[in-house]
């Protein structure tokens, strides 16, 4: 055997071993969730409230993992996880959505399938019980990506998504905060948006985000959550990302797409891309918030530049883990 052939054989063997180890280490499935980022610290969180958030985040992880364990799709998994948080008054999505300057609830949501970049979103909806189902209806039953207001609600109702009276979304906590902001004209709290990303057993990625927006926002204001590339993005070639934070900055800097683009075009790892966008690009211009993400190899990122972010993850190789504060 010639020297060159011997070297080539050795290199192929080493590559085979490395590939084998990578496949062994790659989890069969991954689910990551967030419940919003902001000024979340132990000093402003009671033990009772911390327990409530921990319980709900674990419920969301359990709901999504149940789908993935059975070989279900990432789309079904992120939908299930998001719905748990939309149904909880703890989060700024669905039942706990914040109020606009006019004292109404206007909600946004989006979802994206990494297999074919198919996506759907709704914005400024007031009657869809679970906005994430409205976004999914747009993705699966229309040729469009984003539909707003009454048009989005008609699509939802036509496809069996439950509509409710606006009183369903009322919570005393959000109303009291709205009254405080209205009186003092202060900037609203920045946490509460919910999101989920998943890698399923078939190697497909999915991402979804849902929010009530910003307290005391202008009527008709739409943030980043329903904007594909800003609040949500998924591509099987790179990663799935869901964002939470000051929406105007996330839209201007197309945060979720920027992370995938850094991976695709510059060869960044998931964490390198997340750090570059969240800890440098956004932070340098005053953009507060964070992201959750999972890449095609099952690597996870939960990166934020605020004091805290409600978050958690579970994989086929690990038990559910929930975190709230900066580690």
Which one has a higher pLDDT value, 24 or 2?
2
Q: What is the mean pLDDT of residues 1-9?
A: 57
Cα distances (angstroms) measured from residue 312 to each of 116, 291, 319, 320: 26, 12, 11, 7
Using CB atoms within 10 Å of the CB of residue 45, give its burial: 0 to 12 exposed, 13 to 18 middle, 19+ buried: middle
Beta-bridge mates of residue 242:
232, 292
d(CA 128, CA 161): 7
Which one has a higher pLDDT value, 106 or 183?
106
Q: What's the pLDDT at 135?
A: 98
Q: Between helices 74-86 and 47-69, what is the axis angle to 10°?
A: 160
pLDDT at 274 over 60: yes
Nearest to 177 by CA among 302, 245, 92, 87: 92
pLDDT digits (tens, 9 = 90+) for 110-132: 999 999 999 999 999 999 999 99
Please, what's the b/e burial string for 277-295 (b: 16 or more CB within 10 A of its CB; e: otherwise)?
bbeeebeeeebbbbbbbbb
* Cβ-based neighbour number of residue 186 at 10 Å: 12
pLDDT at 2 over 70: no
Q: Provide Rg for the chain, Cα atoms.
A: 20
d(CA 94, CA 175): 14
Q: Locate tokens 């980043």: which residue?
A: 224
| Residue 303 a catalytic site member | no
Cα distances (angstroms) measured from residue 117 to each of 111, 113, 236, 240: 10, 5, 8, 11
Which one has a higher pLDDT value, 95 or 25?
95
pLDDT at 307 over 50: yes
d(CA 236, CA 18): 22
pLDDT digits (tens, 9 = 90+) for 30-83: 999 999 998 888 888 899 999 999 999 999 999 999 999 999 999 999 999 999
- The residue annotated as part of the active site, out of 100, 171, 193, 232, is 193
> Where residue 188 falls among pLDDT bands split at 50, 70, 90?
very low
Nearest to 37 by CA among 311, 314, 312: 311
pLDDT at 162 over 80: yes
pLDDT at 20 over 50: no
Which one has a higher pLDDT value, 114 or 15?
114
- Please give the CATH topology (third level) of the domain spanning 28-325: 3.60.20
Parallel/antiparallel/unpaired status of strands 318-325 and 308-315: antiparallel
Mapping DSSP onto H, E and C, the string for 89-146 reads CCCCCHHHCCCCCCCCCCEEEEEEECCCCEEEEEEEECCECCHHHHHHHHHHHCCCCE
């Amino acid at each position: 055997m010639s020297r060159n052939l011997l070297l080539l054989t050795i290199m192929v063997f080493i590559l085979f071993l490395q590939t084998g180890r990578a496949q062994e280490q790659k989890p069969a499935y991954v689910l990551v969730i967030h419940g919003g980022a902001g000024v979340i610290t132990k000093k402003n969180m009671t033990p009772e409230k911390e327990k409530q958030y921990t319980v709900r985040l674990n419920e969301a992880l359990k709901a999504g993992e149940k789908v993935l364990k059975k070989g279900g799709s990432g789309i079904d998994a992120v939908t299930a996880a998001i719905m748990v948080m939309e149904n909880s008054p703890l989060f700024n999505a669905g039942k706990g959505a914040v109020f606009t300057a006019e004292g109404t609830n206007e909600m946004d949501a989006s979802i994206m399938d990494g297999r074919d970049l198919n996506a759907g979103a709704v914005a400024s909806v007031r009657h869809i019980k679970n906005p994430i189902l409205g976004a999914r209806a747009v993705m699966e039953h229309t040729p469009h990506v984003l539909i707003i207001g009454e048009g989005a609600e008609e699509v939802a109702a036509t496809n069996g998504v439950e509509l409710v009276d606006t009183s369903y979304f009322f919570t005393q906590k959000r109303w009291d905060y709205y009254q405080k902001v209205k009186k003092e004209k202060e900037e609203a709290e920045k946490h509460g948006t919910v999101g989920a990303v998943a890698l399923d057993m078939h190697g497909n990625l999915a991402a979804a985000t849902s929010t009530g927006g910003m307290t005391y926002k202008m009527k008709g204001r739409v943030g980043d959550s329903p904007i594909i590339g800003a609040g949500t993005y998924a591509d099987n070639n790179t990663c799935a990302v869901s964002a939470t934070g000051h929406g105007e900055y996330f839209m201007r800097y197309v945060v979720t797409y920027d992370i995938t683009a850094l991976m695709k075009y510059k060869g960044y790892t998931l964490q390198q891309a997340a750090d570059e966008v969240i800890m440098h690009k956004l932070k340098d211009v005053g953009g507060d918030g964070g992201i959750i993400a999972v890449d095609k190899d099952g690597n996870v990122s939960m990166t934020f530049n605020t004091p805290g972010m409600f978050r958690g993850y579970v994989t086929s190789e690990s038990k559910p883990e929930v975190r709230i504060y900066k580690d």
